[in-house]
Amino acid sequence: MPDIDAQKFALGVTNYLVLLFSLSFHESAHAWMALKLGDDTAARLGRITLNPAAHIDLFGTVLMPLLQIFGGFPVIGWAKPTPYDAGRFRRDVSLRRGHISVAGVGPISNLLLALAFAIVFAVILRVEVPEGMRDGLYSLMSVGIAMNVTLAVFNMLPVPPLDGSHILSWSLPRSMGEKFDHFSENYGTIVLWILFLSGLLGWLIGPIQRFAVLFIFDLIR
């Protein structure tokens, strides 16, 4: 029994460390894209960094993941939103393009991280690894792949305040987008909590997440 508890604890710590790194990478990507488009708001606030301290949200990065972490796989978490000022984008960048680019790079960054973990995993599977390190590395790479696929799919949901809601808002004609934004401001958090508490969130993202993760593992075998 103590061995099982120790293994669960080690896996929980691994999950949480990967989550912190993945969320930091995600938010840094938002800040980096805004800077590339001409707005240095987030850059001046030190948000282009992998240091989790710059991105931590007390509830989304600390309390909620830790509540999940030792009871199962911590599939969901979020960091402090990265601020940007669309009015500072370069003149050749339209508001539509700017908003969609800054929002969309977040999920893309997690997919790139999943790919990076997969490439490292593929290499590890094909080289000699000391027996004492093998299980730990396998676990770390597996968590990295699954975690980042989940974060990418989760953030693409068109539910405020996730990245997918910003992409949807600015993909719509502005009159419709503004109505959607008004709904988001008033009810977005409520909708997200309903998805969490009802189990609908897992029903929505679970099939896509499982398909993507299995596809990646099939590629690297």
- Residue ranges covered by each domain of the chain: 2-220
**pLDDT at residue 72 in the model:** 53
Nearest C-alpha neighbor of 77 from the set 60, 54, 102, 91: 60
Collapsing DSSP to helix, strand or coil, 213 comes out as helix
Nearest C-alpha neighbor of 159 from the set 108, 117, 194, 126: 194
**pLDDT at residue 1 in the model:** 43
Please list the active-site residues.
27
pLDDT in tens, 55-94: 998 888 888 787 776 555 455 778 999 999 999 999 999 9
pTM of the predicted protein model:
0.91
Q: What is the 3-state secondary structure of 92-138?
A: CCCHHHHHHHHHHHHHHHHHHHHHHHHHHHHHHHCCCCCHHHHHHHH
Which residue's entry shows tokens 């690297």?
Answer: 220
* Distance, CA of 186 to CA of 160 (rounded, Å): 10
Percent of all residues in the chain with a pLDDT value above 70, rounded to a whole number: 95
- Number of CB atoms found within 10 A of residue 95's CB: 12
pLDDT in tens, 135-190: 889 989 999 999 999 999 999 999 888 999 999 999 999 999 999 999 888 888 88
Average pLDDT over residues 127-142: 87
Whether residue 4 has pLDDT greater than 60: no
**pLDDT at residue 103 in the model:** 97
Q: H helices of 58-94, where?
A: 64-69
Q: What is the mean pLDDT of the chain?
A: 89
Collapsing DSSP to helix, strand or coil, 192 comes out as helix
**pLDDT at residue 70 in the model:** 59
Cα atoms in the Cβ-side hemisphere of radius 13 Å centred on 179:
4
